[in-house]
């Protein structure tokens, strides 16, 4: 089976009308017509993941995020960059294939990144878990208790919280990755991956700081981009095993990059 | 989470300057917010059109100014401290009303805007501003453009590194050798950080050369300059871009680190410097109020 054939099977089984114009869901490096020996599902094609996949005999990497540190995987400014060269040479030398599955994955019902991220923070979610997910109500607790539970369940070290830890909360809205939702009236806690801290479309951080200053029960939990979407790629690997039987498939988690 | 130890220190800063500076020049007309801003605009120069983020965001511009507070971000807590310190003109580097549009509909009528005027937090903040006679002005682009690298110099001063600067026209510093971990711990202490600080790279490598980049470091700068320094200190980056570039450099054996301290925190020293500068521009008490590290994490 070639990389291209694997991708065709994914499109066929996704249940979505695949957007062939997406600049994200394309082959990023390697020869798509190379034979696939094994598939690594991962969140981000880091150099570390490439090495671990290769050492495990998995030469096709399917990642949710980019390979060359920008959304378009634009490499025109990187042609003389030693890291770009080393990473690309590693991929080619080991006959690896990198394909990104971002827009297609987010279009699926459920969206694995949302479903698995909700479950990872202790919320029982089902097929309704898609982008612009519904608000989930949990038994009332404090923001501090809930944040501690999320930290325990996800193992995320570097996540960040804003708001009064003593605030009583129960209504949770989650958006993965860079799709951190805006705080709104019917929500107590927003959970996201990352978001520009200020001067954006809607600055959750300052909004929640001010809400806390007014005694309103509001909180933001930033899991970090990888930690917020990574569980979805484990889910994806399981799903892929349902129709790709000829080669080994493994989820290779990214290490949380922060100390 | 209260940060009263910071508040008291900053309150004292304003109160102290209020005692030292004359309230008004004798015989002079009282200075209104509009008058103060006109002096600032004249002093800073440049074009002050309606485009761009700088401008009045709340309050009556004809208000007589009793004192000026500068801040990286005019949070409600900052405004409360300003009101207590009798500083009724607040100059903020970042937005007041939760987004670049700062409460105004976007120019094109499309795209993401901040919360509307009927939002309860927006309403309460506007009421607080009105009730206390405050005026809020955003001073970002023109302050940043004033003199190359002044935000950098201010951050270096806060870190105790002023004397280590290599060239006045660049942001590189050669600090006394330390492990990346020790340097990062020193930064955490100096800037009074909680969970806002995050570091990636080789924590055991020796750091001497540091690049300071307050605010948001663009990806192009990361690509071009990361290899010039042992440690890059910035406010924020896009995690899925620059953070993973640093992680990949580490995997490839690079002995460097990237530390993000938070966008607002990294801009605070520059706005403290702005308060000092103001004292020579307008005969009014001026002081800086820190918004603080917004983030915490459970232990």
In a domain, B298, yes or no: no
Residues of chain B above pLDDT 70, percent: 87
Whether chain A has a CB inside 8 Å of the CB on B70: the answer is no
CA dihedral B195, B244, A56, A3 (to 10 degrees): 130
Together in a domain, B139 and B215: no
In a domain, B271, yes or no: yes
Tens of pLDDT, residues B161-176: 999 999 988 999 999 9
pLDDT band with cut points at 50, 70 and 90 for residue A131? confident
Rounded to the nearest 5°, which phi and psi values hold at A200? -105, -155
How confident is the prediction for chain B on average, in pLDDT? Answer: 89
Nearest CA in chain A to B2: A164
Together in a domain, B69 and B158: no
What pLDDT was estimated at residue A170?
Answer: 98
What pLDDT was estimated at residue B107?
Answer: 55
Rounded to the nearest 5°, which phi and psi values hold at B32? -85, 170
Together in a domain, B117 and B15: yes
Together in a domain, B174 and B137: no
Together in a domain, B138 and B10: yes
Together in a domain, B69 and B155: no
Mean pLDDT, residues A14-33 = 97
pLDDT band with cut points at 50, 70 and 90 for residue B20? very low
Better-predicted residue by pLDDT, B268 or A157: B268
In a domain, B299, yes or no: no
Q: Residue B179 sits in a domain of what CATH number?
A: 3.40.1390.30
What pLDDT was estimated at residue B111?
Answer: 52
DSSP A216: -
pLDDT band with cut points at 50, 70 and 90 for residue B209? very high
Domain that holds residue B60: 4-146+267-288
Nearest CA in chain B to A226: B240
Mean pLDDT, residues B70-81 = 98
pLDDT band with cut points at 50, 70 and 90 for residue B39? very high
Residue A119 has pLDDT above 80, yes or no: yes
Tens of pLDDT, residues B104-140: 765 555 555 678 888 999 999 999 999 999 999 999 9
User: Structural domain boundaries of chain A?
Assistant: 3-108, 112-227
Question: Which A residues in the span 118-147 are in contact with B, Cβ-Cβ below 8 Å?
Answer: 144, 147
In a domain, B98, yes or no: yes
pLDDT band with cut points at 50, 70 and 90 for residue B8? very low
CATH topology match: A3-108 vs A112-227: yes
Mean pLDDT, residues B235-245 = 97
In a domain, B44, yes or no: yes
Whether chain A has a CB inside 8 Å of the CB on B242: the answer is yes
DSSP A158: S
What pLDDT was estimated at residue B105?
Answer: 65
CA dihedral B138, B142, B146, B149 (to 10 degrees): 70
Assigned CATH class of A112-227: alpha beta
Together in a domain, B174 and B206: yes
Choose the CATH number for A3-108 among 3.40.1390.30, 3.30.428.10, 3.30.930.10, 3.40.50.720.
3.40.1390.30
What pLDDT was estimated at residue B108?
Answer: 57
Mean pLDDT, residues B51-62 = 94
Residue A184 has pLDDT above 90, yes or no: yes
Residue B7 has pLDDT above 50, yes or no: no
Together in a domain, B213 and B169: yes
Together in a domain, B256 and B272: no
What pLDDT was estimated at residue B299?
Answer: 81
pLDDT band with cut points at 50, 70 and 90 for residue B50? confident
Together in a domain, B79 and B42: yes
pTM of the model: 0.93
* Residue B257 to residue B249: CA distance in whole angstroms: 9
CB contact under 8 A, B95 and A258: no
What pLDDT was estimated at residue B242?
Answer: 98
Give contacts of A71 with chain B, Cβ < 8 Å.
Answer: 240-241
Distance from CA of B24 to the nearest CA of A (A): 33
Sign of CA dihedral A48, A178, B144, B191: negative
ipTM above 0.85, yes or no: yes
CB contact under 8 A, B296 and A161: yes
Whether chain A has a CB inside 8 Å of the CB on B35: the answer is no
Whether chain B has a CB inside 8 Å of the CB on A192: the answer is no
Mean pLDDT, residues B43-49 = 88
User: Considering its fold, how many domains does chain B have in total?
Assistant: 2
Render the burial of A54-87: b for 16+ CB within 10 Å, e for the rest.
beeebbbbbbbbbbbbbbebebeebeebebbebb
Residue A241 has pLDDT above 70, yes or no: yes
What pLDDT was estimated at residue B169?
Answer: 87
């Amino acid at each position: 089976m070639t990389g291209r054939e694997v991708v065709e099977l994914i499109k066929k089984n996704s249940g979505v009308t695949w957007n062939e114009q997406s600049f994200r869901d394309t082959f990023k490096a390697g020869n798509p017509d190379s034979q696939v020996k094994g598939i690594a599902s991962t969140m981000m094609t880091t150099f570390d993941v490439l090495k671990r996949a290769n050492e495990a005999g998995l030469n096709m990497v399917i990642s949710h995020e980019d390979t060359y540190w920008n959304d378009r995987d634009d490499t025109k400014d990187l042609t003389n960059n030693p890291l770009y060269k080393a990473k690309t040479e590693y991929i080619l030398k080991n006959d690896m294939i990198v394909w990104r599955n971002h827009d297609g994955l987010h279009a699926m019902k459920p969206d694995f990144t949302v479903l698995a991220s909700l479950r990872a923070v202790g919320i029982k979610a089902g097929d309704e878990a898609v982008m612009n997910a519904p608000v989930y109500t949990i038994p009332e607790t404090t923001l501090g208790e809930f944040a501690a539970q999320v930290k325990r369940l996800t193992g995320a070290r570097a996540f960040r919280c804003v708001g009064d830890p003593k605030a009583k909360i129960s209504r949770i809205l989650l958006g993965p990755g860079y799709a951190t939702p805006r705080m709104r009236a019917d929500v107590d806690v927003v959970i996201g991956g990352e978001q520009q801290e200020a001067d954006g479309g809607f600055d959750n951080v300052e909004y929640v700081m001010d809400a806390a200053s007014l005694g309103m029960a509001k909180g933001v939990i930033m899991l970090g981009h990888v930690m917020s979407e990574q569980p979805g790629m484990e889910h994806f690997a399981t799903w892929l095993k349902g129709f790709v039987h000829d080669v080994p498939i493994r989820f290779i988690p990214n290490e949380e990059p922060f100390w | 989470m209260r940060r009263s130890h910071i508040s008291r220190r900053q309150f004292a800063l304003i109160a102290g300057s209020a005692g030292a500076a004359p309230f008004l020049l004798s015989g002079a007309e009282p200075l209104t917010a509009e008058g103060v801003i006109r002096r600032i605009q004249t002093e800073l120069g440049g074009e002050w059109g309606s485009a761009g983020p700088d401008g009045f965001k709340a309050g009556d511009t004809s208000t007589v100014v009793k004192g000026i507070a500068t801040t990286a971000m005019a949070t409600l807590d900052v405004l409360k401290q300003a009101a207590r310190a009798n500083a009724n003109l607040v100059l903020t580097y970042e937005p007041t009303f939760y987004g670049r549009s700062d409460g105004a509909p976007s120019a094109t009528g499309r795209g993401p805007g901040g919360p509307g005027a009927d939002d309860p937090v927006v309403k309460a903040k506007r009421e607080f501003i009105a009730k206390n006679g405050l005026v809020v002005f955003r001073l970002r682009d023109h302050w940043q453009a004033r003199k190359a690298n002044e935000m950098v110099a201010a951050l270096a001063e806060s870190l105790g590194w002023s004397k280590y600067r290599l060239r006045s026209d660049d942001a590189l510093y050669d600090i006394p050798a330390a492990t990346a971990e020790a340097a990062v711990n020193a930064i955490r202490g100096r800037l009074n950080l909680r969970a806002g600080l995050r570091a990636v790279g080789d924590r055991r490598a020796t750091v001497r050369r540091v690049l300071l980049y307050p605010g948001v470091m663009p990806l192009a700068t990361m690509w071009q300059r990361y290899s010039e320094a042992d440690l890059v200190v910035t406010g924020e980056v896009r995690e899925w871009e620059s953070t993973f570039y640093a992680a990949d450099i580490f995997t490839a054996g690079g002995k460097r680190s990237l530390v993000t301290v938070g966008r607002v925190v990294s801009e605070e020293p520059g706005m403290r410097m702005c308060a000092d500068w103001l004292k020579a521009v307008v005969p009014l008490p001026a002081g800086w109020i820190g918004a603080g590290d917004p983030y915490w994490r459970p232990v």
